[in-house]
Structures are given as C-alpha cells and as structure tokens.
Chains A and B, each alone.
Chain A
Amino acid sequence: MSDAASTVSMRSISQARSHRAPLSRDVVAAWLLTFPAILAYVLMVLLPLLGVLALAFTDYEFGASSFRWVGFENFADMPKDRTFMASIRNTVIYCLFVVPFSIGIALLLAILIEAGARGRAFFRAVFFLPVVSLTVAMATAWQYLLHPSIGPVNALLRTLGLGAPNWLGSSDWVMVSLGIIGVWENVGFNLVLFLAGLTAIPRELYAAAEVDGAKSAWSRFTLVTWPLLGPTLLFVMIITMTRSIRVFDTVQTLTQGGPNGASEVLLRTIYQEGFHYFKFGYSAAITLVFLAIVLVIMLVQTRLIDRHVHYG
C-alpha cells in the first residue's frame, strides 16, 4: 500500500515535470542505475555459475584441446576416490566440532558479559580480535603454540606430567587441532551476534518472570532468554555452519591436507583437483557437491526457523 502511494506521488511529480509517459523516466533510470551491477553479476556470478554446472559433466582438463560430455561419471567416481571421501568426512568432523563448541562458548561468554556492567567493551573487543586477525598469520602462531617439541602447549602438558601429542602432525589429533583453532576464530563473531540478540530482549520480561516465581538465574534463562534467543541462535548456527564448511586457510597453511590426507577438506580438494592437477571437470563436480551441501544447510535451517522458533 505504501508502494502504491509512492507510485501515485511519483507519477504526479514526473507528469508535472515532463511530457513523456508517466513512468518512463523511472524505468529508464532504473535500468541505467542497475546496469553496472547487472553486467558485473552476469560476468562474475551468473555465467561462471552456469560454467561450473556445465564443466561438472565433462572430462575437461585445463589446457587440453578437447573434452567429452561424460554425464554423471564425475559424480560416480567420487565414492571410489579416497581423497574425496576423506575430505567429506573431515569437513563433517570439523563442522561437528566447531559449530557446537563455538556456539556454546560464545553463548556462555555473551551471557556472562551481559550479566553485569563492568568490562563490556573490553571483553567484547578481546573476544572479537581473532575475527579481524589475518587467518594465515594467526595459524602460524598456532603452529608454534602446538609445536610437538618446542611449543608452549606441550611444554605445559609435560610440566603437568601429561602426554604431549603431535598436534598437527598425527592423524589422530590433526582435526582436533584444526577444530580448536576454528573455535578460537569463530567464538568472537558468534558472541557479538548473541550480545545483539540478548540486548534485544526486553528487561521487563525478566522482572515479570521473577514475579511469576522464576527465582533462580537458571529458570529465568530457560523461561525468557532461551526461547527469545531462538531466532538469533538459528541464525548463528547457519552462519557458523556455512563458515566452517568453507574451512581452507588454516588447512592450507598448517597441514596441506596431511598427514596422509588426514586433514583433507572439501575446499582444499576442489583447489587441489582444479588448480594442482588441472582436472577441471572433476573439480567442478566436487564444487557442485559443495554447493549442494551449503544449499541444503540453508534450506533445512530456514525450515526449522519457520517451525520451531518462538518470535519475541
């Protein structure tokens, strides 16, 4: 209705100003204003997207003079490809580690920060720092911290008389190590989103809950905070999942998928197959799998949002 109203007012104005047909000025302006964005979108998003769709069904290798359409062959090859299967498994493990821990820790810290007036800006800034720090640089710092012989983490563990694992060098520990770094990277981001969600909860609701007999902090949390934080929580879950499924920088910097493919992840496999072995067709097929997973996550979670979330 407000749109209709604005159309009417714009119509009368443009009629008053020119003798052309009422809306032509708007239409011409609209296409001129959107043209640069449309051009860039078509060249940089739409055509490449169609390109990757087509490539996935060919055996094209970059630099080769010809290619064949191979139907679903690339996809059929995937279950037999140990590197690909390892990269799927590791990416899932990484997400299962990073998503719950980074969300749980962030929520706990956000509630602690929100519970008092002191140190708000300070703590928020400290926890947020990893989000703005160059990942490759900080991964290098982590590499030193987790160094099996000279790293402080193992030095501390030895002092305490505990075992000193080869964090990034053993296939048992490498995904845990990358997961810890991932949690460290993501906590601050989630924390800031939770703080925004918590601030939006009306104070009176806590007072009302207290009057209604919710005396303990825990019962106020389950009665007020948790249900009203629902939309934020689901949003944070989507963001963290789509962020952690794209893990690449730390793996490329620290392990290059090693030892023995134990930390191979999806984006690195795409990169490796495409830009190292130049198997563009196969790499494109894996890209489509990656895209499908991202889309499914978004779809499932938006469905969940519609069904289960109490809106405040």
Chain B
Amino acid sequence: MKTQSETLISDAPRLMALGSAAVVMLIPYVWMLAVSVKPADEVFRASLTLLPERWALIENYGKVLRTIPVVTFVMNGLIVCFGILFFQLLFAIPAAYALAKLQFRGRELLFGFVMLGLLVPYQTTALPLYMGFHHAGLLNSYTALIAPFTCSVFAIFLFRQFFKALPDDLIAAARIDGMGEFSIVWRVILPNALPAATAFAIFSVVAHWNDLFWPLIVIQKGDLYTPAMGILAFRAVESGDDYGALMAAATLVAAPLVIAFLFAQRRFIEGVTMTGLKG
C-alpha cells in the first residue's frame, strides 16, 4: 500500500488523472458562470473563450431579477425545505424512540409498515394525494408542498437504528429522575441523536430543494414557485434564447445549496453516506 511519505513526482500520474476528471466534472459550472456574464452577441459567436470581451454581469443578472422574483423563489424553497424537515423530525424522533426502546404490542407491526414505506417511491402516491388536496381546497399552498413529506419512514428507520445503540441505562436513569417519556425524548434522546439528526437534515434538505415532480403537480401560482420551478418559468418567458440571462438565473438558484455545501462539505458528505448506507 502507498504511504504518506510518497513523493509528489511518483504521485503525479494519480493526481493528473484525478485532476482531468475533476476538470470534466466542473465544466458545466465554469461555462454556466462564464456565459452568465457574457453579452448575447458573444454567446452566439460560439467561441471557446471563457472570459467575455465586454462584461454583461449587470445586464444579465439584472434581467433575471426584473423578470422573475428570484428572492421569493429561494424563500419558498427555504420555507418548504425547513417546514418539511421540522415535521419530519417532530414526528419521526418520538416514533423511532418508541420503536427502539419501548415494549408494546404492535411494535413489530408498526415496524413492518416502516419497511413497507421504505419500498414505495413517493411519486407512487401522487394521484390520490392530488385528489385529496384538491378536495380540501389546498392546491397552491405551502401545506400541499409540505404535508406529503411529513412522515419520513426513512427518518424513523434511521433514528430507530441510532436509538437502539444508545444505552438503556441512560433512559433508566432519566426515569428514576422522574422524567416522563416525552421529556426523555426531547431532553435525553435528542441531544444524543444530534449526529444522526444533522445527517438526516442535510439529506432531507438536499432532496426537497432539488425536487421538481411534486411542486410541478400542486403549484400553479407563480408566487409559490420553488427554485426549480422558477427556472422553468424563466425559461418559458425567455423561450430559451437569451443564454446569458438563463445562465444567470441558473447560477442564482443553484448558489444557496452549493455555497452551503462548500462551507460544510464534510457534514454534507457524511450526511449523504450515512443516510445512504443505512437506507
């Protein structure tokens, strides 16, 4: 096996190979940024130069901000993602605690339903859910965007695994101190479950920030558009011709999560691997 003491020269082929692969991975980002500051005539010249001769940063980004309410879309994205996450944690943590640490009849049955839920992609239930929200008069609302995802069987499964590993003495001690089951969940279990909760939070936010299928079904009103829908709307207005502005729009809505990732790479990657490997 290779060791740390390896010289840079002997490591060079490996770094070159990885470097070229990295460049290929980054090409879409590089061009997205480059085109977002180019004026239309330079975009249509189809040259392979990245830097613009005349900077059109204000022109392109200004056009996006005038045409679509980007800030509203990003806010909608945040409200929906954190709304979903709030209820997922609120519902899943107590349920997972009960499934992991309490003895009661029906526990195996409930866990069976959790496993069933894990097998069903959420797109499966879209038609009946749409009918339900239609009859409740809740289409075009935050409720329609958030409610279908409030019970995450995946979160229950993940937290249950995590809670099973917590020592029973911890809970027994809390009971002797006179704590009820509810305060045990939120004051004893939750602080110990923070790593799992952080990992799940990142997983959940990434998934729902990127989702297009469900918002497309339940939202028609522009002021409730999520970031993904916002781009589609801008493309429709622009009929896809003004690539400078289109790339500026793409950059603006992709930025929040990418920046968050760059600041907390390790946590993001841990979140996805941990949740991934247990799913």
Interface residues of A (CB under 8 A from B): 2-3, 5-7, 9-10, 13-14, 17, 23, 25-27, 29-34, 36-38, 40-41, 43-49, 51-52, 55, 62, 105, 109, 112-113, 115-119, 121, 123-138, 140-145, 147, 149-152, 154-156, 159, 184, 187-189, 192-193, 195-196, 203, 206-207, 235, 239, 242, 246, 248-249, 252-253, 267, 270-271, 274-275, 280, 283-284, 287, 290-291, 294-295, 298
Q: In the complex the two chains form, is B128's CB within 8 Å of A134's CB?
A: no
Distance between Cα atoms of A9 and B172 in the complex (Å): 8
> B269 on the interface (CB 8 Å rule)?
yes
B1-12 near A? 1/0 per residue, CB < 8 Å: 111101010010
Interface residues of B (CB under 8 A from A): 1-4, 6, 8, 11, 14-15, 17-18, 21-22, 25-29, 31-32, 35, 43-48, 87, 90-92, 94-95, 97-99, 101-105, 107, 110, 113, 117, 119-121, 123-132, 147-151, 153, 156, 168, 172, 175-176, 178, 180-182, 185, 206, 209-210, 212-213, 216-217, 227-228, 231-232, 235, 240, 243, 246-247, 249-251, 253-254, 257-258, 260-262, 265-266, 268-269, 272-273, 276-277, 279
Q: A45-B117, A125-B262, A129-B25 are in contact. Are A141 and B124 (CB under 8 A)?
A: no
Across the A-B interface, give the 6 residue pairs with the lowest CB-CB distance, nearest first: A51-B128, A40-B151, A48-B125, A37-B95, A29-B181, A33-B94
Q: In the complex the two chains form, is B121's CB within 8 Å of A55's CB?
A: no
Q: In the complex the two chains form, is B127's CB within 8 Å of A280's CB?
A: yes
Distance between Cα atoms of A283 and B128 in the complex (Å): 11
24 contacts between A and B (CB under 8 A): A2-B168, A3-B103, A36-B95, A41-B113, A44-B149, A45-B151, A52-B125, A112-B14, A116-B2, A125-B265, A127-B21, A131-B272, A135-B212, A140-B247, A144-B32, A147-B243, A156-B48, A192-B276, A193-B277, A203-B1, A249-B212, A270-B123, A271-B213, A284-B127
- Note all chain A residues with C-beta closer than 8 A to B110: 34, 38
- Of chain A, the residue at the smallest CB distance from B134 is A62
- Note all chain A residues with C-beta closer than 8 A to B25: 126-127, 129-130, 184, 187-188
A243 to chain B, nearest CB (A): 10
Q: In the complex the two chains form, is A267's CB within 8 Å of B123's CB?
A: yes
Q: In the complex the two chains form, is A119's CB within 8 Å of B18's CB?
A: yes
- Of chain B, the residue at the smallest CB distance from A31 is B104
Given pairs A45-B153, A145-B28, 4 additional interface contacts (CB within 8 A): A33-B185, A45-B151, A134-B209, A290-B123
- Of chain B, the residue at the smallest CB distance from A248 is B213
Distance between Cα atoms of A246 and B102 in the complex (Å): 37
Q: In the complex the two chains form, is A145's CB within 8 Å of B243's CB?
A: no
Q: A41-B117, A140-B231, A280-B127 are in contact. Are A275 and B217 (CB under 8 A)?
A: yes
- Note all chain B residues with C-beta closer than 8 A to A26: 102-104
